[in-house]
Structures are given as structure tokens and as C-alpha cells.
Structure 1
Amino acid sequence: MKRWEKRPEGSNWGDFGADDQLGRVNLLTREQVLKGVREVQLGQTFCLSLPLDLPGGMALNPRRKPPQLSGTQRDGVSYMNFPMENLDPSSIDVLSDDQVLMSLQYSTQWDALAHVGAYFDVDGSGTAQKVYYNGYAAGRDILGPDNIPDHDDGCCGSGGHAMGALKLGVENFAVKGMQGRGVLVDFTRHFGRSRQLVGYQELAAVLEKDKVQVEAGDMLVLRTGFAEVVTEMAGQPDAQELHRVCSVLDGADEQLLNWITDSGIATICADNYAVEAYPAREREGRKSLLPLHHHCLFKLGLPLAELWYLKDLAEALHAQGRNRFLLTAPPLRLPGAVGSPVTPIATI
């Protein structure tokens, strides 16, 4: 079925196919992977993930809970340091087997394209509907608490869970691989940890000063220092302080949004929370509170990543006068999820 008669202004809906679920991730081609591989000179790797129990607590987002580890259980018995002789007297084995309950976007993460949609009049009827990238619809393709599937296609659990992304789920990125050439832009070296709203003019100035070239298909990686502040708070984040520190993109800057479109970048990965300032600068009329999310996820199908740890990579690249590297960052292949933890690896 055709999902839309008209698409949002400035969007690329349909450009990668009527049923596309990858958006700009389609630009992570074999050629882009090879470009990333050619940046490897030392064979040195960097983990770009925070420990997944950071930021700590729920001060930054009261919806998202930190991970809770526990042993798996059978008949009420926890399988941590479990003596297998309980099952077979001849066994000398001791078994530990665990499970985790956590918010998928609590720490270092990817946003799936099902993470942020908008009200838009896709059929020209004059009535706006809840839709996501490429016209996939809330209630049909992305299920909420009011939607109970009448079938079990394996996406949302064998019990037919009432919520989940039948389309645009994060598993699409996992299958694609999320590997290519990363390009680091280090705002910290220019702005320190002061609160700096970064629009196109500020970004362009940093790119010029640092001789950073960004090309179509690149994975843009932004260091602001935010994740470093989070780390220093050691699991006890001061939410008020964190909202006052470090650089953040100005999602209300139309020139910046146009640059994102024209640059052809495949993704934006940042070390801060939300990538852009929230709420955005005040504008007139009905609007998105997260205009960069709206532009990237909803219009372009360009995934965003948050809370990456970039200090060690940035320092190593700076010491060599480089800003490009091989980036490998697949999310969990968890069908139906609208976000995922990730352990990105940079290789230089």
C-alpha cells in the first residue's frame, strides 16, 4: 500500500525506495567501508562507549532507568555461582548466568528511525497524522499501548506485545552493519566546557580551522566534552550543572539543517545528551521541540547517536594531525526496538 501522497518539505522520503527503512544509512556503502579501512594506520582501537550504568540514577531523564543486573532463575533459584552438582552429583562445574533490565537509550546509544516522528498530512486530506520516516504510520507500523497486533510476526515477542516498531526498528541498522569512515569534529578544543550553541557559522569555523573535510557517506562524530563531565560525576550526575555545560548543536538554525542535508553525511554521533539543545530556541507557530531530531530522523532518515565517549580517540587523532578513522558501531539486533545500546569501536 502507498503510505503517502505528499512528503514533508526538505525530506528524502522515497528517494531510497518506497519501502526504505534505512534512510541515509543507505550511504554506508562498500566504498564507504573501504574509505574507513584506508584510514587505519596504527591498528589501534578505542572503545567509544561509556560504562552502561552511566550517567547514573534518573536525574537526566526520569523515564529512563539504569541497568539492573541479576542472575537468571530456574524454580526460584538464581544461577550465579550455581554448583552444577545440584543437577548432577558428578559435576565439578560452577555456573553464573545473568540477565539485565534497562532502558535501551539510558547510556551510549543509537536512535532508530522509529524514535521520533511527527504530525503530518501525508494524504493531503487536511488532517495531520502521526507518522515517521518515509510515511510509516503510528498505530500500524509503530505500535503503541493502544495497538494490539492480531498476528505474531516475531517482531514484538511471542506473546504479541502491544508495543514495538514493526517498521523502522533498530534491527535494520544492525543488519546493515553501521561501519564506515568516521570524521571527528572536536568542539572541546575550541570552546572548552563552556555552554556554546553551535549553529552553522560556528561549525563551519571549526571545520576550517581544523582542516576537517566532511564528505557524503561519512559518519560525523562530535566531541563536546559532555560525556567526560558525566564520567567525572561518577554515577551521581548533577542535572542542573550538566544542562549548563559544553557545546550543543543549535537545532533551530535552518542553515545548519540545510548543511546536514547538503553534506550527505550518513549519521551524527555525539558525546552529549540529545545532540541538540533541548528545548530548542523559541520560534513562532507550531513547531518541533527537537528540530534537529525532526530534520534528521523524521525527514532524512539520518540516525543520531548520543553519549559516546570520545576523549581518548580525540587526543590520539590530534597527536597525529588526523580527524578520520574507521568506525564500527552496530546496535543490538533487537527486533522492534526504537533505540539501542552500542559499543562503538574506532580504529586508527
Structure 2
Amino acid sequence: MSAAQPRRWVRRPDGSNWGDFGDDDRLGRLNLITPERRRAALAEAREGLVFCLSLPLDVGPGMNPSRFPPKLAPAIRDGRPRYNACACVVYPGLTDVVCDDKVELWTQYSTQWDSLVHHGSLFDADGDGVEEIRYYNGFGEVEAVGTSPLGIQHMAETCVQGRGVLIDLWKHAGAAKTVIGYDQLMRIMEADRVVVEAGDLLCLRTGFADQLLLDKRPDAQALNDFGATLDGRDARLMQWITDSGISALIADNVAVEARASAPKPGFLGSSMPLHDHCLFKLGLHLGELFLLSPLADWLAANARNRFLLTAPPLRLPGAVGSPATPVATV
């Protein structure tokens, strides 16, 4: 931020890190993936084996009425679809045949990243006694499509490559709906000898993505009752996320945290407290619907829980979220 510009905030939310990476920071905790930590992550690629951590992008839970599968269609030129377009039509004798297509893409239907403008809060950042719309580091409301200074392109420009660490909640909690708090998470990590360090990209396997692969249109209530999620209302768990120094939080389910129910009359606060804590306060990107089970099974069979993770989003300026095709190398 230049000296001519006033600071966007005079007070920051309790428990936030606004300003810690600079007044104009747009990366949040991705700043913790330093060259030194990236070199350490490269050391986890011992076998040269790779795992695709993306679902097919037409596979999603269908639980959000504003998100839909991608719509693929041929590109149109001169009124004709660009499938099997033969250059010989225009230039006799040429043998080239061309296909081109286009896609209408909902950026958060399937395997995806949340940008730091995906979730904000009403907060009195300027100290005038009036709450206003704010996002990470005090950035204000989105004025038009693609204009947010916290768009996903900033994440893409870092390449999102670092050490992934996997915690296998499915192994311990199974398919039953289980809300995981601090105590249970610590027990699981101790049992599986999982060590999390600053800059790590933390991945949680719940088995949810596997259910989507079984049926592209699964029952919404059955999905809502499936598997482990984090307890966003557990203050000790939120403090651990802060203290751990992780650079991103990833899960194979929807939202990472227990999905919100209708608030009771008089309730004040966020219906999605983990999103509020991570995206709004810490600048900690959330990855959702990653396909983690094949990787988790291999890691378990080889007594490992660390790997090299490369997971950039699309470099789409101003976007609120983005599909991803993450790659784990072991």
C-alpha cells in the first residue's frame, strides 16, 4: 500500500493476523511457503509416483443451489460448431481437422479452492461504530464481477507447491457423521504419528469424495449425514489452526467444517465459524472436495503421511474460487 493511501483498518478482528504480512497483503498464510520449505517438500517425492487429487469436474454434491456442473459445448465459427472442422472447406488440399470447445464453469462445484474473498464478515474495521462488509486484511466489498483485490489469481501466482500432510479421519471415524474437535484430532494425530509444521498444506481424508464417485447424484440428506467434519465452534481447535502455522487447509468434503444449520433467534456471529476464522481472519485458503483416498491408502501402506503437493488454481483474475487439478508426488 502506498504512503498516499490510508490504511484500510484501524482495528482488526480478535485472533486475526491482518497486517502481519504487510498492509497490502493478498496471500495470507501462503506467505509461509518459503523457498526453504518448498525444498523440504521436494524431499518427500522419493518414489516418483503421482496421484491426481481432483474429482472429475462434473462430479459434485449438488447441495448448493447456486452451483452446477460445467456445461461443455463446441465453439462456434461462421455459425458452425468447431468439431471435426476440416480446413479443406476453405483451402482445398489441406488435411487439417480441428476441434474447439467452450465451457460454462461454476468455479466451486467440484474440487476447488476458496479465495480470500469467498467469505467475509460484517466488521467495524475503521472504528466508526458501524459494521461494514470486510474481507481478509480489511479489504472492502466486491464492487463488480472480477474486481476484488483478493481474487484467486494471487494464489495461482504462488504456484501452491509445498509439503502436504495427510490426517486420515476416515480411518478413525468411518462413515458416521462425526464432528471432530481439538481433543479427538490430537488423539488421531498422535496415534498415526502425524507431525504438522509451519508452511504445511494440511489435508483431511473423510471418504466423502468417494461417495460422490459412487453416484453422481447422491441423496443430499445421506451426504449431509456422512463422515467427519471439523468443529468450527471448538475454540481450542481454531487456536490450534492459528498456532500450527499451516499454509492451507484441505479436505475431501464440502466446507471442511460441520455444515451450518438454521441459526436460532437472537444468534449473533458466523454460521460458518471455521470459514470466518480461516478465510476472514487468517487469510488461510480452504480446499474442498479433493480426492484423497487413493493417496491416503498408499501413504498408509508405506507408513508415511507426507508428500509433495502441487495445487495451483486457475489464474482467473478476480475470481472468488477456482477448480483445481492437484497433484501429489510421493
Q: TM class, shorter-chain normalised?
A: over 0.9
1:43 aligns with 2:48: yes
SS in 1 for 2:187: helix
Name the structure 2 match of 1:272. Answer: 253
Residue 75 (structure 1) shift:
2.3
Cα distance between partner residues in 1 of 2:210 and 2:57: 14
CA contact (8 A) 1:252 1:280 kept: no
Gaps of 5+ in 1: 144-161
Give the superposed CA RMSD: 1.3
Cα distance between partner residues in 1 of 2:208 and 2:319: 26
Name the structure 2 match of 1:85. Answer: 88
Name the structure 2 match of 1:114. Answer: 117
Identify the match of residue 253 of structure 1 among 234, 239, 244.
234
Correspondence 1:35-184 to 2 at 5 A: 35-55=40-60, 59-138=62-141, 142-143=142-143, 162-184=144-166
Residue 280 (structure 1) shift:
6.1
Structure 1: 4+ residue segments shifted above 3 A: 280-285
1:244 aligns with 2:225: yes
Cα distance between partner residues in 2 of 1:106 and 1:31: 34
Name the structure 2 match of 1:336. Answer: 318
Identify the match of residue 196 of structure 1 among 164, 178, 187.
178
Name the structure 2 match of 1:322. Answer: 304
Cα distance between partner residues in 2 of 1:262 and 1:75: 58
Q: Report Cα offsets for 1:75-123 as digits up to 9, x if no partner.
A: 2211011111122112111110111102001100000001000000011
Residue 131 (structure 1) shift:
0.6
Amino acid of the residue matched to residue 197 of structure 1? V
Cα distance between partner residues in 2 of 1:94 and 1:255: 60
Residue 62 (structure 1) shift:
1.1
Name the structure 2 match of 1:156. Answer: none
Gaps of 5+ in 2: none
Q: How many residues were matched structurally?
A: 324
CA contact (8 A) 2:177 2:228 kept: yes
Cα distance between partner residues in 1 of 2:174 and 2:234: 22
Amino acid of the residue matched to residue 245 of structure 1? F
Q: Report Cα offsets for 1:274-306 as digits up to 9, x if no partner.
A: 111111697874110110000000000000000
CA contact (8 A) 2:125 2:131 kept: yes
CA contact (8 A) 1:165 1:338 kept: no
Q: Report Cα offsets for 1:218-246 as digits up to 9, x if no partner.
A: 0000000000011111x122111100110
Worse-matched range after superposition: 28-37 or 268-277:
28-37
Name the structure 2 match of 1:150. Answer: none
Q: Percent identity?
A: 51
Q: Report Cα offsets for 1:5-24 as digits up to 9, x if no partner.
A: 10001000000001000000
Identify the match of residue 14 of structure 2 among 9, 16, 19.
9
Worse-matched range after superposition: 126-135 or 90-99:
90-99
Amino acid of the residue matched to residue 135 of structure 2? Y
CA contact (8 A) 1:55 1:237 kept: no
Q: Report Cα offsets for 1:162-218 as digits up to 9, x if no partner.
A: 312430110001101100000000001111111110011111110000000001110
Amino acid of the residue matched to residue 18 of structure 2? W
TM-score under structure 2 normalisation?
0.96
TM-score under structure 1 normalisation?
0.91
Amino acid of the residue matched to residue 324 of structure 1? R
Cα distance between partner residues in 2 of 1:11 and 1:25: 15
Cα distance between partner residues in 1 of 2:167 and 2:123: 34
CA contact (8 A) 1:111 1:338 kept: yes
CA contact (8 A) 2:117 2:148 kept: no
